[in-house]
Amino acid sequence: MKTKLVNFTYNGKITIQLIIPEPENIRIPHSEILDYDSFCGPGSKWGDRAVPDTMYFLKVSPACFIHDLSWAVCEPTWEAFHNSNAIFRKNLKAIVRGATKNRILKWLRLKRCEIYFWAVDKSIGSKVFWEDKRKPVSNHIRSYIDDNLLKTIDARNES
């Protein structure tokens, strides 16, 4: 999956570059990190509580949104799965490093990034990824993907 760097802002002041999938037929809803709704977690009550949208009061929803988008548009391969998860880890860490000045809080948040990465790459994530690859793109992410690309993805997932 090809990617590109896009500038996001934190609190309208700090510029943080995040990695997003390259297709031009996807839409990023906001460039301001604080404007993001909840995208972290697998979409179940228990799972969403286990994976909050904040890390010690720092919003990381854009990294979760981009991760969901990456999983939706990437090929159904182990390489694409791990690549999407590596991007997720880099984006989480970019938000933490860019928006955290306090050294102790930064250390705690970076440790939490590793827990989020472990959950998607080494734990339950592979099961969710392969389940998602057998059905149409989920509703929470569909509106950010062009209709033609959606048709291609949905057809691929149904085969």
What's the pTM? 0.92
1-12: average pLDDT? 92
Tell me, what's the pLDDT at 154? 86
Check pLDDT > 80 for residue 32. Answer: yes
**For 62-121, what is each residue's pLDDT tens digit?**
999 999 999 999 999 999 999 999 999 999 999 999 999 999 999 999 999 999 999 899
Of the candidates 142, 125, 145, 114, the residue with the CA atom closest to the CA atom of residue 78? 125
Of the candidates 68, 34, 79, 61, the residue with the CA atom closest to the CA atom of residue 143? 68
Q: Which domain holds residue 111?
A: 3-158
- In the chain, the number of structural domains is 1
**For 113-133, what is each residue's pLDDT tens digit?**
999 999 899 888 888 899 888
Of the candidates 96, 75, 74, 76, the residue with the CA atom closest to the CA atom of residue 21? 74
d(CA 48, CA 36): 15
